[in-house]
Amino acid sequence: MKDLPLAEVYRLIEPGPVVLLTTRSRQGRANVMAMSWHMMVEIAPPTIACVVSSNDFSFFPLRQTKECVIALPAVELAERVVKVGNCPGRDTDKFATAWLTPLRAEQVSAPLVAECFANLECRVVDTRLVDRYNLFVLEVLKAWIDPAQPKPKTIHHIGNGAFVVDGEVIHFESLIP
């Protein structure tokens, strides 16, 4: 074993696929951001925790409206996802910049992303850790899947502009549904 700089630890523990989080402000402006700091908290109802920095343009609409969509892009969208992640939302229509299509959601005002293989309409159910850690707890209200994308592969950020793509699937018996 050898020392690993503490600033590199996050690269070992990235929690899951890069997703797109969409919001819509009370004034009606939609935004999309790339996010990889999220995790499942509960299976039923599906509950997700995510970190949205107070420096991100999406932070205040998420905090005010308590609604968002988590859209899951396949690897084919990787360049657009990186464009979204590298583009500031305050002065830019990130949907147009990244050639993404917003679609009307059923239960929240934030838009779905047409090009993504799944979209999760979410409501913020817990904000107790927002002030301290920027951590929002979301309940999934409605889930959408694109049947035209039957076996999507996701991308996983491992730091410094590097990503890993889903690989081989292996199966083991599970007692959890």
Which are the contacts of 64, defined by CB distance < 8 A and separation ≥ 6?
25, 26
3-state SS of the chain is CCCCCHHHCHHHHCCCCCEEEEEECCCCCEEEEEECCEEEEECCCCEEEEECCCCCCCHHHHHHHCEEEEEECCHHHHHHHHHHHCCCCCCCCHHHHCCCCEECCCCCCCCEECCCCEEEEEEEEECCCHHHHCEEEEEEEEEEECCCCCCCCCEEEEECCEEEECCCCCCCCCCCC
pLDDT at 115: 98
pLDDT confidence bin for 78, thresholds 50/70/90: very high
As a whole number, mean pLDDT of residues 146-151 equals 95
Per-residue model confidence as pLDDT tens digits over 2-28: 888 888 887 777 668 999 999 999 999
Reported pTM: 0.93
pLDDT at 15: 62
The vertex-74 CA angle with 70 and 18, nearest 5°, equals 50
pLDDT at 7: 83
pLDDT at 177: 63
Per-residue model confidence as pLDDT tens digits over 150-160: 999 999 998 88
Distances in whole angstroms, Cα of residue 130 to Cα of each of 54, 123, 135, 145: 9, 15, 5, 29
As a whole number, mean pLDDT of residues 157-173 equals 88
